[in-house]
Chains A and B, each alone.
Chain A
Amino acid sequence: MGIIEAILLTVVTAATPLVLASLGELVSERAGVLNLGVEGMMVMGAVLAFAATQATGSPYIGILAGIACGALFSLLFGFLTLTLVANQVATGLALTILGLGVSGQIGEPYVGMSGVKLQPIVIPLLSDIPFIGPILFKQDLIFYLSIALVFGVNWFLFRSRAGLKIRAIGDNHASAHALGIHVIRTRYLAVMFGGACAGLAGAQLSLVYTPQWVENMSAGRGWIALALVVFASWRPWRLLAGGYLFGAVSISQLHAQALGLGIPSQFLSALPYAATVIVLILISHNRRMTLINTPACLGKPFVPDR
């Protein structure tokens, strides 16, 4: 196995949770809901996925538990912000703090246990392609899901009627409401999709990335996922590219260090973030494009007039 291949394999593992979590947030934000609780939902997904896997011995049950847990946890956010019309920013932050705390509590008995690693599913024939095969077709289920979801969400948002409704709600919930679209119900579904994706990303952390449970194991990845959504200007394809760019820069900086190139490690550690800032500047340069893609009602509460 060549070194490039090895690096790319590591990049895939590092990028997958970012892509998943930010994809969920993208859908939620397209519907106009800003959920800053990604980190909390992710870490809850991670602990529940680990616990369920320990209880049943099957990481696939763990994945389901992670997804379900993320979706349920986001329901709490949905209830507070959509039904009770609480401030989305504050509620999202609270959700993150709550998630980090509760997950630590739930996870206490699992600390130090060695986990079950989700085994790769080898796709016959395709995995024999040199170079690309081992990287793309000898991966675990969660990776395949992440790619399928990017395709799926892109199609759904821009090619389906339901996706059009979601975008309409995100751009102008009053008009969407006037047209008879169920704003609140649709937003609930979008928020739950976001939660499910974050939960799945969490499951990837505790079943694939580092098959173990430690408190705060998401270590800020939820926040990076949030930034990626803006980075991608709310487009799934750019989000995929952004997630992998971020993963690639963070992995290659480690390799650059191990090679002893003599570049200061603090600079290298800051590179992924610097790269994000630079791309953001380049993107926001085209103000019209940014405005077209930004959901106009993002973060605004909606109270239907009766």
Chain B
Amino acid sequence: MKKIILALTTSAAVLGFAAAASAQDKTKICFIYVGSKTDGGWTQAHDIGRQALQDHFGDKIETPFLENVPEGPDAERAIERMARSGCALVFTTSFGFMDATIKVAEKFPDVKFEHATGFKSAANVATYNARFYEGRYIQGVIAAKLSQKGLAGYIASFPIPEVVMGINSFVHGAQSVNPDFKVKVIWANTWFDPGKEADAAKALVDQGVDILTQHTDTTAPMQVAAERGIKAFGQASDMIKAGPETQLTAIVDTWGAYYIKRTQAVLDGTWKSEQMWDGLKDGILTMAPYTNMPDDVKKLAEETEAKIRSGELHPFTGPIKKQDGSDWLADGAVSDDGTLLGMNFYIAGVDDQLPK
């Protein structure tokens, strides 16, 4: 039943959008969001990027968007409607839109598509992503310094490479400080459900974790952490408002510059399908101010960040063993991007079984 409603909502939104679209000579740069643009997390970060894009080009472009588009068959309809309405470039901003984007792109060879965080591309489909794992490594370092029990809780969304990579990086960062560090993982199987995220946070705290980190989209886990008096990391947007005395730092996605660059390429006619995967040094992700921690931890965090920026430190540097005990990276070896983007295994030290 919920599916039907979502379908209806989507179609209603799409219809409204199509009706509003008029024949103008502005270039249309379109966005598909998985959540609401005010979710305080992932989608909000994309929408801030969209606004930066609109401000940069002003009257030259329009930036229509569709919110709350469910991943799955409905996504295909939504993206197709966007493409049909005359968009020059469509940003589909969730991993689950990957197959739908590729399918629609086949039907509209003249429309350019950019899919966030996926691994499938085509002549008119580029992918873009940020090296979030760099931020998660720093969070792991901080967690290991601050956790008295050496145990952190991790609220994960779906077992996709992006999320698995984040968990591994967090654990590896923590173990660079405390080799015995453990992490408990709960898969919420949703990106967006404040109640469920809060429940997962409560379950983790009740089982004794004293640091929380999340890979879901709302500030509910941060609130639970604040209520229970433990520390937590924000996700995708600066969540300091939800936990002024709780947030240690947050990975903040800053998509604006990329959106401007790619739109400029479309306007200039120089757009090509590329696979962008930038990190801290390119400013596509930034760390929210390091707060609520002693100065020495802050200093270590800043040093780690500087090392990652300069390229001196790659978060996935061996020796790293896989969870099953087999070797993955030899001493000093660095993981290649392909392995990371398809990551479907845990490294040693993750106290969870990866859902298949």
Listed in ascending order, the chain A residues whose CB lies under 8 Å from chain B are: 3, 6-7, 10, 14, 36, 39, 93, 96-97, 100-101, 104, 107-108, 111-114, 117, 205, 209-212, 214-217, 219-221, 223, 226, 250-251, 254-255, 257-260, 262, 264-266, 269
CA distance A257 to B188 in the complex (A): 10
Q: How far is the CB of B260 from chain A (nearest CB, A)?
A: 25
Whether A214 pairs with B202 at a CB distance below 8 angstroms is no
Smallest beta-carbon distance A69→chain B, Å: 19
Contact among A3, A107, A219 with B207 in the assembled complex (CB-CB below 8 Å): A3
**B204 contact from A111, A250, A258, Cβ within 8 A:** A258
- Complex CA–CA separation, A264 to B352 (angstroms): 10
* B19 beta carbon closer than 8 Å to chain A: no
B162-195, CB < 8 A from A: 184-190, 192-195
Please tell me if the beta carbons of A14 and B195 are within 8 angstroms of each other in the complex. Answer: yes
Q: Is the CB of B202 within 8 A of A97?
A: no
Between A and B, 26 residue pairs with Cβ closer than 8 Å are: A7-B203, A7-B206, A93-B4, A97-B5, A97-B8, A112-B38, A112-B40, A112-B219, A112-B242, A205-B194, A210-B218, A210-B220, A211-B223, A214-B40, A215-B36, A219-B190, A219-B192, A220-B2, A223-B2, A223-B5, A251-B203, A255-B203, A257-B187, A259-B207, A264-B353, A264-B356
Task: Please indicate the chain A residues that have their CB under 8 angstroms from the CB of B352 in the complex.
Answer: 257, 260
Q: B294 interface residue, CB < 8 Å from A?
A: no
Q: Report the bound CA distance from A266 to B195 in whole Å.
A: 18
Contact size range, B: 35 or more
Interface residues of B in 55-107 (CB under 8 A from A): 67-68
Given A260-B353, A269-B187, A217 and B194 contact (CB-CB distance below 8 Å): yes
Which listed residue (A7, A96, A114, A258) contacts B223, Cβ 8 A?
A114
Specify which of A10, A93, A265 is in contact with B355 (CB 8 Å cutoff): A265
Residues of A close to B187: CB separation below 8 A: 257, 265-266, 269
Determine if B278 is an interface residue (Cβ-Cβ < 8 Å): no
| Cβ-based interface call for B302 (8 A) | no
Which of A7, A14, A112, A223 contacts B1, CB < 8 Å? Answer: A223
Chain B neighbourhood of A36, CB < 8 A: 1
Verify A254–B351 contact, CB threshold 8 A: no
Which residue of the partner chain A has the closest CB to B226? A114
In the bound assembly, the distance between CA atoms of A264 and B218 in angstroms comes to: 24
Contact partner, A108, options B2, B38, B207, Cβ 8 Å: B38
CA distance A125 to B184 in the complex (A): 38
